[in-house]
Amino acid sequence: MDTFAFFLLGFFVVGYFVLAGADIGVGMLLPFLGRDRRLTLAAIAPFFLGNEVWLVASAGLLTALFPVLEADLFGRVWGALVVLVCAWMLRDMGLWLRGRREGPVWRKIWDAAIVAGSWGVAASWGVAIGVLLGGGGPLFAVTTCGLFALHGAVFAVVRLGGEAPRAMARWVVRITLLAGVPCAVGAGAGELGRTAPLAVALAAVLAAVWGVLARPGGTGGRARDGWALAASALAITAVPLLGGLNLPDVSLTGGATLTLAVTGPLVPVLVAAQAWVWWIFRGRVERPSYL
C-alpha cells in the first residue's frame, strides 16, 4: 500500500513538472519567442489549465496520504511555497486577463504578470527543492529556471515553428548545461552520492537536446523536434527526482485506504481525458486563441 501511495503521488508530481514545465517555460520566454505574443500564448492556451491541476491533485494527495510529510515540507520551505502560490496566481491572472481588453497598457501589465509569475514559479521551485537538497536554495533556482525555460523553448519550437523559438532554445540549452548542471551539483554537495549520478544523467540528456537542436531544420524536422521535446521533458524530471530522493523517510502508518481505493482506479480515466486534449491540439498553432 505504501508503494502504491508513493507511486501515485510521484506520478502526479512528475506529471506536473513534465506538462506544466512547458507552459511555465513559454511564459518565462514570452518576450523572446515571437513578435505576436498572442500567437505565442496560443501555443499553451489549451493546456495550461489542465497542466496545473496536476499540482493541485498532488497537493490533495499529499494532504490525504502523507500529512506528516506535508507538515514537515511546508514547515521547512514555507516562504518559498507562499511565493510559489502567489507567483502562480499572478501568472494565471495574466494569462486569463491579457486578452480581455484592448490597449497597450492593459497588455503590458499582464505580460509583465505572466513573465514575472512564470519566473517566480520556476525560481521558487528551485529554492524549495534546494532547501530539501541541503540548503542550496538560490543555487538550485538557477537549475530549475534553466530547465523550465528550456522545456518551454523546445515546446514553442514544436507548437510554433519558426526561427525565433529555435534560436532561443539553442541559447537556453547551452546556458542550462553550462550553468544549471554545476549549480545542481553545488546545491546537492552535501549528498553527492545521490546528486552526482543524477547530475551526470541530466548533463547527458541536455547534451542530446543540444545535439538535436543544433542541426539545421529541413525535412523530417517536426519528428526531430518531437524527440527534442521528449528529451527536455526527461531533463525536467530531474527536479522532482532530486527533491524526492532527499525527502525524509515516511510511511503511511495505515489509514488512507479509502483515498487510494477511490482515486487509484481513476488515474487511467484522467490520463485518457488529458491525452484527448493533447491529441486535439497536436498541430502547429495557426492563429491566436481566446487568451
Q: In terms of Cα–Cα distance, which of 15, 5, 1 is closest to 65?
A: 5
Q: x/- site string to another protein, residues 186 to 205, per CB under 8 A?
A: --------------------
Task: Restricting to residues 232-261, name those near another protein by CB under 8 A.
Answer: 254-256, 258-259
Contact 157, 166 (CB under 8 A): yes
The nearer residue to another protein, 113 or 229, going by C-beta atoms, is 113
Helical packing angle, 192-214 and 221-236, nearest 10° = 170
AA letter at 264: G
Closest contact distance (angstroms) between CB of 70 and another protein is: 5
Q: In terms of Cα–Cα distance, which of 67, 65, 56, 49 is closest to 264?
A: 65
Stretch that binds another protein, among 167-175, 210-218, 220-228, 280-288 (CB under 8 A): 280-288
The nearer residue to another protein, 45 or 114, going by C-beta atoms, is 45
The shares of helix, strand and coil residues in the chain, as percent rounded to the nearest 5, are 85, 0, 15
CA–CA distance, 143 with 137 (Å, rounded to integer):
10
Closest contact distance (angstroms) between CB of 282 and another protein is: 11
Contact 136, 127 (CB under 8 A): no
Closest contact distance (angstroms) between CB of 189 and another protein is: 28
Kindly give, in sequence order, each residue whose CB lies less than 8 Å from that of residue 123, ignoring residues fewer than 6 positions away: 141, 144, 145
Work out which of 10, 11, 76, 92 binds another protein, going by CB under 8 A: 92
The nearer residue to another protein, 197 or 264, going by C-beta atoms, is 264
Size of the site for another protein (CB under 8 A): 68
Take residue 176 and report the three cell numbers written for it: 542550462
Work out which of 17, 19, 23, 47 binds another protein, going by CB under 8 A: 47
Q: HSE on the CB side for 27, CA within 13 Å? A: 35
The nearer residue to another protein, 56 or 204, going by C-beta atoms, is 56
Take residue 105 and report the three cell numbers written for it: 497598457
Closest contact distance (angstroms) between CB of 112 and another protein is: 12
31 binds another protein (CB under 8 A): yes
Contact 114, 95 (CB under 8 A): yes
The nearer residue to another protein, 170 or 224, going by C-beta atoms, is 170
Stretch that binds another protein, among 120-128, 221-229, 230-238, 262-270 (CB under 8 A): 262-270
Concatenated DSSP letters of 231-273: HHHHHHTHHHHHHHHTSPP----S--HHHHHHHGGGHHHHHHH
Task: Restricting to residues 52-91, name those near another protein by CB under 8 A.
Answer: 52-53, 56-57, 59-65, 67-68, 70-71, 73-75, 78-79, 81-82, 85-86, 88-90
Binding site for another protein (CB under 8 A): 31-32, 35-38, 45-50, 52-53, 56-57, 59-65, 67-68, 70-71, 73-75, 78-79, 81-82, 85-86, 88-90, 92-93, 96-97, 99-101, 104, 107, 254-256, 258-259, 262-263, 266, 269-270, 273-274, 276-277, 280-281, 287-290
